[in-house]
A and B are shown apart, each in its own frame.
Chain A
Amino acid sequence: MVPLAASCGELGIMEIKEIKREDNMKSMKSSSIISIIILVGWMVLVPIITANEALAKSEEKTLRIGALVAMTGFFSIRDIPDFNETKIAADLINEMGGININGQKYMIELVSEDYKSTMDGTAAAANRLVYDKKLKFIIGPTAYFATATGPVCDPNKVIRIPTWVANSPGEVDATTPYAFVGCNATLATASGMAEYLKRAYPKTKNVTYVMIDDGTIPYTVPVVKRLLGAKGISIVGKPIVYSNDTLDFSPIAAKINANKGTDAVFHVNCVGPQIGNIVKALRELGNKMPYAACMPTTLTEVVAIAGKEATKDVFVGAITASDPKMAPLAKEICKRTTAKYGSDYTLYLTGADGLWDLKQVMEKAQSLDPTVVKTTWESMDTIETIFGPGKVCGDETFGIKHHVVAHPLPIQILKDGKVVSGGWMPVYMP
């Protein structure tokens, strides 16, 4: 039994080996055929794909847009985060296909110049962008520094979009036909903050008005007074104004505290350290009034200086990364910014918004000619800002038709020790 079985087993093995060899041959043949097909397909398709890619790339052009940024000096605290966000917005726009003009795609390349937080630095940086680099569109600078760019940009028909304006002559007005504002800036922010103040603290009737002495007081105060008046709020006493080189804000806090008969503090045109130090000194004096800081400065900065306890009832006009009601584009920029720079990074988004507005106007104009873009912007009534639906307005206040955009204002508050969104307020900008 055993030998038979063994011989049978040997025969079986031979047969199996033969069958396996045949199978191997077959599978080798079929895999060779498949490989040849793939190889041929690859050889045919790859040039087609790469040719298409190359063709698509050759169709893309670069649009160089200037960015006036305070990289150095005291204002860099505000400008560097904003510029970092603008760069992220430019990348996002490029990923979305860039700016499409008559079927031609333009990828944005930001060309930055440091204006060194000085007026002469601003003029010099604007000259470099306009005369040396021949750029036709500029984002920035911020606030009153914009006045130094008008004499360079307007005669050369260069469109500039300051990242903030405070309403002083020469920022954006009848003398600056090529200047546009893409974000809320001082006045529209003040109107939205007044709305929140009234909703959150309905008994508020009188406020102490505080602002930095940046030369815009005669132009800002009457408008803010009117905007507050529209909400039934009055300014008590003279505006309390502090110098830009103020080291200790205790005297300012003492002055605010001594301004009797007020229900809240209304702080216009300010940066985080100023708000934080005034709030800290004010709370030390036992003053616990609501404090409206009309700037997109993050409350985190105020908490860092004044502490959580003191920051109760303080609110700012800033966007919050965790806000579920944020518009998708703003959400994406915030997501990328916080991923890159940290969760408590200041989110201004004013430069990003200016860039986004410019893209839309260019595409509507279907032109890169600054004069055509200017005329198109002036003809628009609405625009989709990254903060949501925006209205092109400000004719009465700025003395120029449709050069200013107003959009819903994000509010940031401190709740249960955490910086959270306080909702979105409508703004009013006549």
Chain B
Amino acid sequence: MEQAIPTLTNILVLSSMYILVALGFVLLFNVVGIINFAHGAIYMLGGYIGFAFSVVCGLNQWLALLLTVLVIASFGLFLERFCFRPFAGDFNRTVTICIAIIVILETGVNIIGGTKILTFPAFVEGILRIGHVSVSYERILTFAIGAILLGITIWFIKRTKWGQQMQAVSQDVEAAALQGINVNRISAFASALGCGLAAIAGCLMGAYMGLSPFMGDFILVKVLIVAILAGVGSIGGIFFAGLVLGVIDAVFPLFISGAASSAVAVAIVIVILLIRPQGFFGHEMEM
């Protein structure tokens, strides 16, 4: 019982972290049709650029976060135009390009930023204590931002013209183009939005856990699991899938030691996919 409330907060924070990063990944996948394996590296880059703005340039961390989102979103535009669009529909080349981006970004940051552990300055400090429960404001903020961004993204996709165009492109590119939708513009926008979301997650996690050039490698596996569990084409499903993975990752280490907990978590994902190959909310995809 004593562990119940800390575990509950861990579930919420972990889930929101996964949801935040997975959102950008799924946007790219659904709209641009790219499985962006470099998404973890972009998330890492976001954290480092945020660090550069806030610590090296001495800007306020909220301003640094905003500038980071703009920079990484621009990087997303660049990636879509020069790395993804020329190879759209070619899985092998896209994977190769993503791996190249990972190596370039990780090695570049490792050389420029050094191997020293860096941290993005905390957005909020202090610990909330209510009775036996204690949660840092940082964790509450991470959860809150994750939840708010998810809400905004869903609203944006469902309620705005651009969002509806994104949905149309994700359902059928040719039909969307015939309807007069500028597919390239929508793809570029989705890429910028996806990378921007990754940048927010990178800064929040950089403040919470510290920055490392390889932090993206670990999150990428989680993001892939969330995206697959949520199901192809589902944005709202990410919330549920992120929560499931959050529960698995927060609860299993309490009962199963070490790497075995990760193995069991992945095994559960396999079982879920055996029962529902399309994920929780996705539709069957033709490859």
Contact = CB atoms under 8 A, between A and B. Distances in A.
B185 to A, nearest CB: 35
A148 B128 CA distance: 47
Interface stretch (B166-174, B255-263, B274-282): B255-263
B161 interface: no
A92 to B, nearest CB: 22
Interface string A232-271: 0000001111111111101110110110000000000000
A250 B118 contact: no
Interface string A126-158: 000000000000000000000000000000000
A241 B257 contact: yes
Given A242-B253, A284-B134, A305-B117, A247 B261 contact: no
A365 B110 CA distance: 40
Contacts of A248: 10, 13-14, 17, 209, 249-250
B209 A277 contact: yes
Contact of B261 (A243, A258, A301, A345): A243
A74 B114 CA distance: 13
A247 B257 contact: no
Contact of B10 (A73, A254, A304, A305): A254
Contacts of A277: 209-210
A242 B258 contact: yes
Contacts of B116: 301, 342, 344-346
Interface in B9-24: 9-10, 13-14, 17
A243 B115 contact: no
A247 B17 contact: yes
A369 interface: no
Contacts of B221: 245
B82 interface: no
A16 to B, nearest CB: 71
A251 B110 contact: no
B214 A73 contact: yes
A212 B14 CA distance: 20
B253 A77 contact: no
Contact of A285 (B6, B114, B249): B6
Contacts of B3: 254-255, 257-258
Nearest to B217: A74
A245 to B, nearest CB: 5
A72 interface: yes
B210 A240 contact: no
B118 A304 contact: yes
B107 interface: yes
B270 interface: no
Residue of B103, B219, B259 most packed against chain A (CB within 10 A): B259
Interface in A293-321: 301, 304-305
Contact of B2 (A77, A247, A258): A258
B218 A251 contact: no
Contact of B218 (A73, A247, A301, A344): A247
A251 B212 contact: no
B36 interface: no
A276 B206 CA distance: 13
B13 A305 contact: no
Interface string A216-245: 010000000000000000000011111111
A32 B251 CA distance: 93
Given A241-B258, A255-B254, A284-B136, A305 B210 contact: yes
A129 to B, nearest CB: 21
A177 interface: no
A278 B136 CA distance: 14
26 contacts: A74-B214, A74-B217, A76-B213, A77-B214, A78-B115, A213-B258, A240-B257, A242-B253, A243-B262, A245-B262, A246-B253, A247-B17, A248-B249, A250-B6, A252-B253, A254-B6, A254-B10, A255-B253, A273-B210, A284-B135, A284-B136, A304-B117, A304-B210, A341-B114, A344-B116, A346-B115
Q: Give the top 7 A-B pairs by smallest Cβ distance, nearest first.
A: A213-B258, A241-B258, A251-B253, A301-B117, A305-B210, A241-B257, A243-B259
